[in-house]
């Protein structure tokens, strides 16, 4: 077996020793985001912190749609958050937060939070494993990738890793859990790991068992080279951690402990550009809320821990004079259904909101409240407004100053960019208010309801214009328009053919603008 094949199919990524607050810390060679920074890394010291919400977060109870509250409450009578308990957002009467999220509310009021509504992808998968894989590799739903969107770019920017980077800080760090597939390259997983403290001290003392004089022994020797490199990273991490002796208080939960370490390393001067931490478990099929007190329960506890931990993290970074370096984001493999189930919970769904936070983040709610049918059925899902890869592309461009050619190298396509980070960071033009106000009434249809055919009438400001048709399961059933057009008003026919009767959604995307239109197909 060739070395590259041996490494490709070997689980060589293991945790660094548990030498910081009892946590194993995983150091990675880079991520796609970090790889994209290869040309611009010296121009800024920006850091991205990713918080993975494991299990599929119920975004509809996290970000409550006040402007369609009656439909929301009717769809989930047993778990809906009482309207009077929803936390208001400054200068926004359409949207509020779960009562447990006071920390995020305060950050929002201080201009440090952007909420991106209904983030997903066409034809979503409802398996935890497959959906997570899609988010981490950046693949389409019908596409299986052997590489992560990090590893693909890594191998072009760091071809001699790890040999040529012995004196560097780790470029990315994941705290807790297993190595993320996002770092898988074509030849190997670029994560550097040590599985136990014994292995760590063996590396420190250069103690190694003899390598057998076989082909497998040659491969083992190479793996040990990678393991030795992790010791270099361990020294850098320990040095950074030791330079911070006092931190602000954090809540007593697992996520807060992870973020406390991240803040310590950032403020300690580590040059790491990307951190990933995890928070679970959001798979709330039952007992999501308490009967008679729906603002409490399992989901409330999760959101309270999430919100309080992020607030403490930002307060700590501010005190340590490092907050201006950091942008953070939350993501989950999918959301939950619109309609609650009979077990006081919610089942696997499609799109869900993401929370972006940081000193340079644009305050606001990007997108409109989710479309909720007047009489929601058990299979109804929130239609996608934004592709998750658009969020990645936006952060790469606006926070890490990555050019468009490199973006397409990482993500394969030219995804829509969203106004998430202030243009001060990279000299771009961004404005949430302009986007939201300019996205109204961009697409309509007539007749509506319709039997078989309906005419879509739409406006484009010019440039690439995309219209997609989704059913209530989030499946992409048609793409009537996908081309570059001059600015103006146009019409196009949508023939539903043999599609079943029911609700469909027409989504128009034109540059930074998007609009969603619900349509109803009925029997003739």
**357-402 confidence digits (pLDDT tens):** 999 999 999 999 999 999 999 999 999 999 999 999 899 889 888 8
- Alpha carbon 86 to chain centroid, angstroms: 24
Residues 190/29, Cβ–Cβ less than 8 Å:
yes
Q: Say what the pLDDT of residue 111 is.
A: 97
Pairwise pLDDT comparison (229 vs 392), residue with the higher score: 392
Q: Say what the pLDDT of residue 405 is.
A: 86
Q: What percent of the chain has pLDDT over 70?
A: 77
For 329-397, the DSSP string reads EEEES--B-SS--TTSS--B-S-EEEEEEETTBPPEEES-PPP--TT--TT--PPPSEEHHHHHHHHHH
| pLDDT tier at 174, thresholds 50, 70, 90 | confident
Q: Say what the pLDDT of residue 223 is.
A: 62
pLDDT digits (tens, 9 = 90+) for 254-266: 999 889 988 998 9
Which of helix, strand or coil describes residue 135? helix
Q: Say what the pLDDT of residue 12 is.
A: 38
Lowest mean pLDDT among 4-18, 193-207, 437-451: 193-207
Q: What percent of the chain has pLDDT over 90?
A: 60
**445 Cβ neighbours under 8 A, 6+ residues apart:** 454, 455, 456, 457, 494, 506, 517, 519
| pLDDT tier at 26, thresholds 50, 70, 90 | low
Q: Say what the pLDDT of residue 41 is.
A: 42
Round to whole Å and give the CA distance between 10 and 80: 46
Both structure tokens of 262: 């991240």
Residue 118: pLDDT above 50? yes
Both structure tokens of 290: 């308490």
Phi and psi at residue 480, in whole multiples of 5°? -65, -30
pLDDT digits (tens, 9 = 90+) for 30-66: 444 455 554 444 456 889 899 999 999 999 999 999 9
Round to whole Å and give the CA distance between 223 and 221: 5
Q: Say what the pLDDT of residue 80 is.
A: 98
Give exposure, 312-328, as e/b (b: 16+ Cβ within 10 Å).
bbbbbbbebebbebbbb
| pLDDT tier at 227, thresholds 50, 70, 90 | low
For the segment 121-133, the average pLDDT, to the nearest whole number, is 96
Residue 441: pLDDT above 90? no
Both structure tokens of 72: 């929301």
Pairwise pLDDT comparison (213 vs 299), residue with the higher score: 299
| pLDDT tier at 14, thresholds 50, 70, 90 | very low
| pLDDT tier at 15, thresholds 50, 70, 90 | very low
| pLDDT tier at 164, thresholds 50, 70, 90 | low
Q: What is the mean pLDDT of the chain?
A: 84
Q: Between vectors from CA 290 to CA 287 and to CA 296, what angle results, nearest 5°? A: 110
For the segment 284-306, the average pLDDT, to the nearest whole number, is 97
Residue 198: pLDDT above 60? no
Residues 86/96, Cβ–Cβ less than 8 Å:
yes
H helices of 243-357, in order, are 254-267, 298-319
| pLDDT tier at 103, thresholds 50, 70, 90 | very high
Helix axes of 404-411 and 388-398: crossing angle, nearest 10 degrees: 150
Indicate the pTM of the whole model.
Answer: 0.87
Residues 13/192, Cβ–Cβ less than 8 Å:
yes
For the segment 434-453, the average pLDDT, to the nearest whole number, is 89
């Amino acid at each position: 077996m060739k070395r590259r094949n041996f490494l490709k199919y070997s689980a060589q990524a293991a945790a660094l020793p548990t030498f910081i607050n009892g946590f194993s810390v995983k150091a990675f060679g880079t991520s796609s985001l970090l790889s994209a920074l290869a040309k611009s890394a010296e121009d800024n010291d920006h850091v991205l912190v990713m918080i993975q919400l494991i299990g599929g977060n119920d975004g509809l109870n996290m970000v409550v749609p006040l402007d369609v509250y009656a439909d929301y409450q009717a769809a989930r009578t047993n778990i809906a958050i009482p309207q009077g308990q929803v936390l208001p957002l400054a200068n926004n009467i359409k949207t509020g937060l779960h009562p447990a999220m006071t920390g995020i509310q305060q950050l929002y009021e201080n201009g440090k939070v952007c909420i991106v509504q209904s983030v997903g992808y066409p034809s979503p998968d409802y398996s935890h494993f497959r959906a997570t894989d899609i988010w981490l590799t950046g693949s389409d739903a019908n596409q299986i990738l052997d590489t992560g969107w990090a590893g693909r770019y890594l191998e072009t920017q760091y071809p001699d890793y790890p040999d040529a980077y012995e004196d560097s800080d780790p470029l990315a760090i994941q705290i807790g859990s297993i190595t993320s597939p996002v770092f898988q390259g074509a030849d190997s997983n670029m994560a550097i790991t040590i599985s136990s403290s014994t292995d760590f001290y063996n590396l420190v003392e250069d103690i190694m068992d003899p390598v057998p004089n076989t082909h497998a022994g040659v491969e083992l020797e190479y793996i040990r080279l990678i393991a030795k490199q992790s010791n270099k990273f361990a020294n850098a991490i320990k040095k950074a951690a030791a330079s911070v002796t006092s931190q602000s208080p954090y809540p007593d939960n697992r996520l807060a402990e992870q973020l406390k370490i991240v803040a310590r390393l950032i403020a300690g001067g580590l040059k790491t550009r990307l951190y990933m931490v995890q928070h679970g478990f959001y798979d709330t099929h039952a007992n999501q809320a308490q009967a008679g007190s729906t603002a409490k329960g399992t989901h409330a506890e999760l959101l309270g821990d999430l919100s309080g931990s992020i607030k403490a993290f930002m307060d700590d970074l501010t005190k340590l004079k490092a907050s201006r370096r950091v942008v953070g984001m939350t993501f989950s493999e999918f959301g939950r259904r619109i309609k609650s189930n009979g077990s006081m919970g919610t089942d696997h769904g499609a799109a869900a909101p993401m929370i972006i936070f940081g000193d340079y983040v644009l305050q606001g709610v990007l997108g409109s409240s989710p479309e909720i049918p007047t009489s929601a059925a058990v299979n109804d899902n929130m239609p996608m407004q934004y592709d998750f890869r658009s969020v990645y592309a936006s952060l790469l461009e606006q926070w890490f100053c990555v050019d468009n050619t490199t973006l397409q190298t990482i993500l394969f396509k030219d995804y829509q960019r969203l106004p998430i980070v202030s243009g001060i960071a990279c000299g771009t033009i961004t404005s949430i208010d302009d986007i939201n106000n300019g996205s109204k009434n961009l697409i309509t249809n007539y007749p509506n309801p319709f039997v078989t055919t309906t005419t879509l009438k739409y406006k484009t400001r010019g440039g690439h214009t995309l219209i997609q048709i989704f059913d209530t399961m989030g499946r992409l059933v048609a793409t009537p328009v996908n081309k570059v057009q001059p600015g103006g008003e146009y019409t196009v026919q949508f023939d539903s053919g043999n599609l079943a009767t029911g609700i469909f959604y027409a989504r128009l995307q034109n540059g930074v603008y998007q609009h969603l239109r619900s349509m109803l197909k009925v029997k003739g």
